[in-house]
Structure 1
């Protein structure tokens, strides 16, 4: 059994697409996954599966939970060891964090064909992409430069719409939970 992290996009945001975590956990268990843990209310699920094929799991979870909740729920599945490697590498270690700076990790639904040179920076300097390894991209957003950043639009123009983004603090919480399971 391998440990995975499923990241759901666009649930429980602004009162739309409500997905109770207890019901989500039950749906994962119905699919035969074990040791299912949900973190926060934004669709971060740690689980164990017999399959090692994250793409197969991703498709199965997308299909089943979309049917169960009555609307499409874009799903990305990443092997737990990739999250642990990401946090160990910490792409943000040379970045300064303050009130206007946000660190983000974006997870791709599939392998990216985009070959933008890194680090990449928006014209106004408000948004930088600093890391891309496999299906994970890390970026820095400076709200002091622009109050209405187009970060998601920029990411989608490079990598497509099948992505989901988490604040770095959320990624660290997932990593802490994964580390406690060992």
Structure 2
């Protein structure tokens, strides 16, 4: 069995798409998922499954949630190696997790984005912000805060592909949970 990390997009945000993590764990376990764990309420799920087809497995998770909770979130699936690589490849050498974990965001795409709207990107990126794409991860540094960024909410339309974001704190905590360490 393979260990997977599912990053669900847009759950438990602003009172929308409510998805209790305890219920999600039980639901996935009753549908053949093993050792299901969640991290915080924003749709981070670690599990083991015999399925190795990423696309089918992501679709299954989305459909299971739709059948029981009435909405169908998009799901990005990663292996623990891919999540570790995302942290290792973090391109901003002047940043540290100790001081910048809340202002560096990892946008995870299913595949490397190839349809970037450069004009929209230039119009949305504030001069204090930095954005670099490495493979299927866009690293977005927002020193003034993510909530003040114009680009954060436009990422999918700028890149022409669905994605989901997590800050560095969350990505690090998920990786620790996969490794069996405490997330705190």
> Which TM-score bucket, shorter chain as reference?
0.7 to 0.9
Work out whether residues 21 and 41 of structure 1, in 8 Å CA contact, stay in contact via their aligned partners in 2: yes
Give CA deviations for 1:105-133 in whole Å, capped at 9, x if unaligned: 0111344223689xx87653133212322
Greater mean alpha carbon deviation, residues 61-70 or residues 124-133: 124-133
Q: Is 1:84 aligned with 2:110?
A: no
Q: Specify which structure has the higher proportion of helix.
A: 2
Work out whether residues 127 and 139 of structure 1, in 8 Å CA contact, stay in contact via their aligned partners in 2: yes
| Structure 2 match to 1:57 | 57
State how far apart, in whole Å, the 1-side matches of 2:112 and 2:59 are: 15
State how far apart, in whole Å, the 2-side matches of 1:92 and 1:65 are: 36
Normalised TM-score (structure 2): 0.82
Number of aligned residues: 177
Q: How far off is 1:87 after superposition? A: 2.1
In the alignment, structure 2 segments of 5+ residues that lack a partner are none
C-alpha change, 1:58 and 1:123, in structure 2 (3 Å) is closer
Alignment of 1:99-138 (within 5 A): 102-114=103-115, 124-133=126-135, 135-138=136-139
| Structure 1 match to 2:22 | 22
Work out whether residues 117 and 160 of structure 2, in 8 Å CA contact, stay in contact via their aligned partners in 1: no
In the alignment, structure 1 segments of 5+ residues that lack a partner are none
Q: How far off is 1:10 after superposition? A: 1.1
Describe the SS at the equivalent of 1:27.
Answer: helix
State how far apart, in whole Å, the 1-side matches of 2:130 and 2:73 are: 28
Work out whether residues 105 and 136 of structure 1, in 8 Å CA contact, stay in contact via their aligned partners in 2: yes
State how far apart, in whole Å, the 2-side matches of 1:147 and 1:84 are: 26
| Structure 1 match to 2:42 | 42
Q: Specify which structure has the higher proportion of strand.
A: 1
| Structure 2 match to 1:139 | 140
Describe the SS at the equivalent of 2:142.
Answer: strand
Q: How far off is 1:59 after superposition? A: 1.0
C-alpha change, 1:92 and 1:114, in structure 2 (3 Å) is same
